[in-house]
Amino acid sequence: MKKTTLIISTTLMIALVFGSAYAWDHGNGMINNQYCRGYGNRNALNDLSKEQQNQLTALRQAFIDGTYELRSAQMEKRRQIGLLMQTSDPDRAKLTQLYSGMDDLNKQLREKQLDYQLETKKIAPGVNFGQWNGRGPGGRGYGGENHH
Protein backbone atom coordinates (compact mmCIF):
# COMPACT_ATOMS: atom_id res chain seq x y z
CA MET A 1 0.00 0.00 0.00
CA LYS A 2 2.78 2.45 0.93
CA LYS A 3 4.69 1.63 -2.23
CA THR A 4 1.61 2.25 -4.36
CA THR A 5 0.95 5.56 -2.61
CA LEU A 6 4.58 6.58 -3.10
CA ILE A 7 4.47 5.69 -6.78
CA ILE A 8 1.22 7.57 -7.35
CA SER A 9 2.35 10.65 -5.46
CA THR A 10 5.72 10.65 -7.21
CA THR A 11 4.06 10.26 -10.59
CA LEU A 12 1.76 13.19 -9.83
CA MET A 13 4.72 15.29 -8.65
CA ILE A 14 6.67 14.52 -11.82
CA ALA A 15 3.61 15.31 -13.96
CA LEU A 16 3.23 18.61 -12.13
CA VAL A 17 6.88 19.50 -12.65
CA PHE A 18 6.84 18.56 -16.32
CA GLY A 19 3.54 20.39 -16.77
CA SER A 20 5.19 23.52 -15.38
CA ALA A 21 8.15 23.05 -17.69
CA TYR A 22 5.74 22.64 -20.62
CA ALA A 23 3.89 25.81 -19.67
CA TRP A 24 7.19 27.65 -19.33
CA ASP A 25 8.40 26.52 -22.73
CA HIS A 26 5.14 27.26 -24.49
CA GLY A 27 4.75 30.64 -22.82
CA ASN A 28 7.62 32.19 -24.73
CA GLY A 29 6.33 34.94 -26.93
CA MET A 30 7.83 37.80 -28.80
CA ILE A 31 7.30 41.22 -27.30
CA ASN A 32 7.51 43.01 -30.62
CA ASN A 33 4.37 41.47 -32.05
CA GLN A 34 0.92 40.26 -31.07
CA TYR A 35 2.23 36.92 -29.75
CA CYS A 36 2.96 37.96 -26.18
CA ARG A 37 2.04 35.09 -23.92
CA GLY A 38 2.69 35.69 -20.27
CA TYR A 39 2.55 39.46 -20.62
CA GLY A 40 -1.13 39.88 -19.95
CA ASN A 41 -2.97 42.40 -22.07
CA ARG A 42 -1.45 42.29 -25.56
CA ASN A 43 -2.90 45.65 -26.51
CA ALA A 44 -1.03 47.30 -23.64
CA LEU A 45 2.23 45.94 -25.05
CA ASN A 46 1.43 47.41 -28.44
CA ASP A 47 1.15 50.79 -26.74
CA LEU A 48 4.72 50.57 -25.45
CA SER A 49 7.47 52.44 -27.22
CA LYS A 50 9.95 50.51 -29.33
CA GLU A 51 12.57 51.30 -26.69
CA GLN A 52 10.41 49.82 -23.91
CA GLN A 53 9.74 46.72 -26.01
CA ASN A 54 13.47 46.34 -26.66
CA GLN A 55 14.24 46.80 -22.96
CA LEU A 56 11.70 44.12 -22.04
CA THR A 57 13.11 41.77 -24.65
CA ALA A 58 16.65 42.33 -23.35
CA LEU A 59 15.51 41.93 -19.74
CA ARG A 60 13.72 38.68 -20.58
CA GLN A 61 16.82 37.33 -22.33
CA ALA A 62 18.95 38.34 -19.33
CA PHE A 63 16.50 36.48 -17.08
CA ILE A 64 16.71 33.36 -19.24
CA ASP A 65 20.52 33.57 -19.37
CA GLY A 66 20.73 34.27 -15.64
CA THR A 67 18.56 31.32 -14.68
CA TYR A 68 20.11 28.82 -17.06
CA GLU A 69 22.12 27.07 -14.34
CA LEU A 70 19.11 26.82 -12.01
CA ARG A 71 16.86 25.45 -14.74
CA SER A 72 19.56 23.00 -15.84
CA ALA A 73 19.96 21.79 -12.26
CA GLN A 74 16.18 21.36 -12.00
CA MET A 75 16.13 19.27 -15.16
CA GLU A 76 19.00 17.12 -13.86
CA LYS A 77 17.23 16.51 -10.55
CA ARG A 78 14.03 15.59 -12.40
CA ARG A 79 16.03 13.18 -14.54
CA GLN A 80 17.65 11.62 -11.47
CA ILE A 81 14.29 11.26 -9.73
CA GLY A 82 12.80 9.63 -12.82
CA LEU A 83 15.67 7.20 -13.17
CA LEU A 84 15.64 6.33 -9.49
CA MET A 85 11.89 5.73 -9.57
CA GLN A 86 12.39 3.25 -12.41
CA THR A 87 14.60 1.03 -10.26
CA SER A 88 13.08 -2.02 -8.64
CA ASP A 89 13.70 -0.64 -5.12
CA PRO A 90 13.90 3.20 -5.14
CA ASP A 91 15.96 4.62 -2.28
CA ARG A 92 13.56 6.78 -0.22
CA ALA A 93 16.38 8.71 1.44
CA LYS A 94 17.92 9.58 -1.91
CA LEU A 95 14.51 10.62 -3.30
CA THR A 96 13.90 12.80 -0.25
CA GLN A 97 17.28 14.44 -0.78
CA LEU A 98 16.56 15.03 -4.46
CA TYR A 99 13.13 16.54 -3.73
CA SER A 100 14.67 18.75 -1.06
CA GLY A 101 17.19 19.94 -3.62
CA MET A 102 14.33 20.68 -6.02
CA ASP A 103 12.67 22.77 -3.33
CA ASP A 104 15.86 24.80 -2.91
CA LEU A 105 16.21 25.32 -6.66
CA ASN A 106 12.55 26.31 -6.96
CA LYS A 107 12.95 28.88 -4.19
CA GLN A 108 16.01 30.40 -5.88
CA LEU A 109 14.18 30.54 -9.20
CA ARG A 110 11.11 32.18 -7.62
CA GLU A 111 13.36 34.87 -6.13
CA LYS A 112 14.89 35.55 -9.55
CA GLN A 113 11.40 35.63 -11.07
CA LEU A 114 10.32 38.23 -8.52
CA ASP A 115 13.36 40.38 -9.33
CA TYR A 116 12.53 40.02 -13.02
CA GLN A 117 8.92 41.03 -12.46
CA LEU A 118 9.93 44.08 -10.45
CA GLU A 119 12.32 45.16 -13.20
CA THR A 120 9.60 44.79 -15.84
CA LYS A 121 7.37 47.09 -13.80
CA LYS A 122 10.11 49.74 -13.88
CA ILE A 123 10.27 49.57 -17.67
CA ALA A 124 6.51 49.42 -18.29
CA PRO A 125 4.63 50.42 -15.13
CA GLY A 126 1.27 50.57 -16.91
CA VAL A 127 1.33 46.95 -18.05
CA ASN A 128 0.00 44.36 -15.61
CA PHE A 129 2.84 41.89 -15.25
CA GLY A 130 1.43 40.66 -11.93
CA GLN A 131 -0.81 38.02 -13.52
CA TRP A 132 2.10 35.59 -13.46
CA ASN A 133 1.48 35.16 -9.75
CA GLY A 134 5.10 34.19 -9.15
CA ARG A 135 5.30 31.87 -12.12
CA GLY A 136 7.69 33.86 -14.27
CA PRO A 137 7.29 34.87 -17.88
CA GLY A 138 4.81 32.77 -19.78
CA GLY A 139 3.21 31.38 -16.64
CA ARG A 140 -0.51 31.16 -16.31
CA GLY A 141 -1.81 33.50 -13.70
CA TYR A 142 -4.70 35.73 -12.83
CA GLY A 143 -5.95 38.81 -14.56
CA GLY A 144 -5.04 40.34 -17.85
CA GLU A 145 -5.65 38.89 -21.25
CA ASN A 146 -3.82 35.57 -21.36
CA HIS A 147 -4.40 33.66 -24.60
CA HIS A 148 -2.73 30.24 -24.54
What is the C-alpha separation between 7 and 138, in angstroms, rounded?
30
> CB within 8 A of 56, min separation 6: which ones?
31, 48, 120, 123, 124
> Residue 44: what pLDDT?
64
| 8 A C-beta contact, residue 148 and residue 26 | yes
Domains of the chain: 48-125 (1.20.120.1490)
Please count the other Cβ atoms lying within 10 Å of the Cβ belonging to residue 24: 16
> Residue 18: what pLDDT?
64
> Residue 35: what pLDDT?
37
What tens digit of pLDDT does each residue of 22-42 get? 555 444 444 433 334 444 555
Alpha helices in 26-148 (DSSP H): 42-46, 50-66, 68-86, 92-123
> Residue 58: what pLDDT?
94
Q: What are the angstrom distances between the C-alpha of 78 and each of 47, 72, 123? A: 40, 10, 35
Nearest Cα to 98, choosing from 33, 17, 34, 29? 17
Whole-prediction pTM value?
0.57
Per-residue pLDDT in tens (0 to 9) along the chain, 148 residues? 677 776 776 776 676 666 655 555 444 444 433 334 444 555 666 778 899 999 999 999 999 999 999 999 999 999 999 999 999 999 999 999 999 999 999 999 999 999 999 999 999 887 765 544 444 444 433 333 333 3
In eight-state DSSP terms, residue 28 is: -
> Residue 131: what pLDDT?
47
